[in-house]
Amino acid sequence: MDQDNKPVPFSSPEENDPDQFLNKAKRLVLEEIVEFEHTEPGSTVEIYVVWFSKTLQNWKACLSTNQANGFYYEVTYNGDKGVAYVDSYVKVRNTPRWDDLRDLQKSTKETLEKSRDERIAENEMVANSEGMSKPDDTDKPEFRS
């Protein structure tokens, strides 16, 4: 086995050295990429750490790559069992979520008002281009209960 493919151990004499965990996480993600072909043919894969945390004997790393395929990886190490889990994700959508209900109501109202005003303006443009007059209140049907 050459130097580049040498396994990175989970533990070492430097127990508090985070680089050993980051290197292991990168190695595991690379194995995942190769095994499941999460790469573009002929490209060089660069793996970088987005977030990392270690608590007692456990650690977790979130990683991504320079690939345009949108994959995101999460490596979780369970120190009690001595096993690492690699999760692969693909971003499906980005949906905004407001902190405060008032912000949501204000934003929704502004969006609805804008949409309503745009629809009215569009209908008026179509009516004007077809030589139609703008409807007034007398054109509305009368409803009785």
Confidence (pLDDT) at 2 = 43
Confidence at residue 36, expressed as pLDDT on a 0 to 100 scale: 86
pLDDT 10s per residue in the chain (145 long)? 444 544 444 554 455 678 889 999 999 999 998 888 878 777 888 999 999 999 998 999 999 999 888 899 999 999 999 999 999 999 888 788 777 666 667 767 677 776 677 777 777 776 676 665 555 555 555 555 5
Contact 84, 28 (CB under 8 A): yes
Tokens read off for 116: 């309503």
pLDDT of residue 125: 74
The CATH fold of domain 3-90: Nuclear Transport Factor 2; Chain: A, (3.10.450)
Residue with tokens 């650690």: 59
Query: pTM for the full model?
Result: 0.55
Measuring CA to CA, which residue among 86, 106, 96, 105 is closest to residue 33? Answer: 86
**pLDDT at residue 3, rounded to an integer:** 45
Which residue ranges make up each domain of the chain?
A: 3-90, 101-132
Say how many C-beta atoms besides its own lie within 10 A of residue 64's C-beta. 16
- What's the pLDDT at 96? 81
